[in-house]
Amino acid sequence: MKFENSREYAQQLDKKDPLGVYQEQFIFPKINGKNVIYFTGNSLGLQPKSAKKYVDKIMTDWANLAVEGHFKGENPWWDYHQRFAEKLSKVVGAKSAEVTVMNTLTVNLHLMMVSFYRPTAKRYKIICEEKAFPSDQYMISSQVRFHGYDPSDAIVELKKRDGEHNFRTEDILAKIEEVGQECALILIGGVNYYTGQVFDIKTITKAGHKIGAFVGWDLTHAAGNIELKLHEWDVDFAAWCSYKYMNSGPGNASGCFVNEKYHNKKDIPRFEGWWGHNKDRRFLMEPEFQPEDGANAWQISNAPVLALAPYLASLQMFDEVGMDALIERRNKIVAYLEFILHEIDKEVDSSFEVITPVNQQERGAQLSVFLHGEGKELFNYLMKNGVITDWREPNVIRLAPAPFYCSYEDMFEFGQILKRGILE
């Protein structure tokens, strides 16, 4: 598609866009009296206007029903988490019984590793990406030490080639084959947080199973952003936070996927708790654990409904629009942003390097841009002038135009602010 770097052209794209109306469904911070251009949906999504209504409903039931709110009212609390299953399964490509919401992301990854990292004397290694998000690095290292292994031996990091910004799938597959029968688990982020590279989840999962390893995915930057077919791709488990592209609110509840082939298996280890017990017998207070059907068996504590409420509000919009339509808009708006960057680059004779893959199949709603010759002063200028973006050392800004609430005119206006910031 041939783009134009003009406000009128961007406005025409917005006018023709059937999803453009959703921008009005979100609350924007203001700088200098104007709505910001918000590029950090990959860190914390904007608040849906409907979120307050969902939270207020629970507060009202708490006030009017008190403890009876667990069982009475329009949305009783005791099975509140089950309202997510059907809608959330569409977002991640799963069967409804394969998903649940509980806890927070790293807690859930630890719980998943109880079930899927079961090292032996010969098969104990974990393959992960180098420089994964620190939380994952800490989590994996602590799990390895907990089982009595040395992280320097048990953790195998996938590496990029010298001078390259992104991982090559063929190198990942070669490393999996090399580690072979020593590999107990492969655990990678579905989208690299720094560059925005999307990994080939289907191919890597298949390769991991070929050597007899479990394969799990941290979908922090993937859920609500890219196409996922977790059931079809035969992923063993996955977890994701809900507060980035899924707009559930800061630090909010995590989603989990557990492949149905592990449901109702009596020999699979897991940490157990009251909310994973058969719901029909939960209040009989029986001493022996009887697991719920599906992924809900991994639940431990009762659902934090006040936290889940804004997640459900956002998920309702995902269900209305569908991932196919969101991804179509995402591709076009990211391509337009990329075009704007290159146009401004030519106008100011600067040197921007987009380190996110060019191939749309290898990227989502993020462009990471190396600002050669520009320092953090440019980032500060953008922030002061109404562009909320993200700085990563040594010299990268991450731009994530979430398709629900970013407009084509935002992309154009960002280009004008960027140009002024370089020239001033």
Q: How many C-beta atoms surround the C-beta of residue 108 within 10 A? A: 24
Q: How many C-beta atoms surround the C-beta of residue 7 within 10 A? A: 13
Report how far residue 84's alpha carbon sits from residue 87's, in angstroms, rounded to the nearest whole number. 6
Q: Please choose, from the candidates 335, 317, 336, the residue with its C-alpha nearest in 3D space to the C-alpha of residue 326.
A: 317
User: pLDDT tens, 224-237?
Assistant: 999 999 999 999 99
The answer to whether residue 55 scores a pLDDT higher than 80 is: yes
SS3 377: helix
Give me the residue label for tokens 């009596």: 266
Report how far residue 191's alpha carbon sits from residue 368's, in angstroms, rounded to the nearest whole number. 12
Give me the residue label for tokens 């154009």: 412
Report how far residue 217's alpha carbon sits from residue 151's, in angstroms, rounded to the nearest whole number. 19
Instruction: Identify the band that residue 182 occupies on the pLDDT scale cut at 50, 70 and 90.
Output: very high
Write the burial class of residue 219 (CB in 10 Å: 0-12 exposed, 13-18 middle, 19+ buried): buried
Q: Please choose, from the candidates 247, 293, 301, the residue with its C-alpha nearest in 3D space to the C-alpha of residue 272.
A: 301
Choice between 393 and 115, residue whose per-residue pLDDT is larger? 115
Q: Give me the percent of the chain exceeding a pLDDT of 70.
A: 100
CB 421 within 8 A of CB 381: yes
Domains of the chain as residue ranges with CATH: 7-35+322-423 (3.90.1150.10), 53-321 (3.40.640.10)
User: pLDDT tens, 68-121?
Assistant: 999 998 899 999 999 999 999 999 999 999 999 999 999 999 999 999 999 999
For residue 6, what are the contacts with CB-CB under 8 A and spacing of at least 6? Answer: 412
Res 22: pLDDT: 97
User: pLDDT tens, 255-278?
Assistant: 999 999 999 888 899 999 988 998
Q: Please choose, from the candidates 44, 38, 63, the residue with its C-alpha nearest in 3D space to the C-alpha of residue 306.
A: 63
Cα distances from 187 to residues 20, 90, 240, in angstroms, run 36, 23, 13
Instruction: Identify the band that residue 170 occupies on the pLDDT scale cut at 50, 70 and 90.
Output: very high
Q: 390-392 and 26-27: which strand pairing? A: unpaired
Report how far residue 44's alpha carbon sits from residue 214's, in angstroms, rounded to the nearest whole number. 30
Across the chain, what does the average pLDDT equal? 95
The answer to whether residue 63 scores a pLDDT higher than 80 is: yes
Res 295: pLDDT: 96
Report how far residue 225's alpha carbon sits from residue 310's, in angstroms, rounded to the nearest whole number. 18
- Rounded to 10 deg, the angle between the 305-321 and 51-65 helix axes is 140
Name the maximum alpha-carbon separation found in the chain: 72
Give me the residue label for tokens 């059931």: 231
Res 263: pLDDT: 96
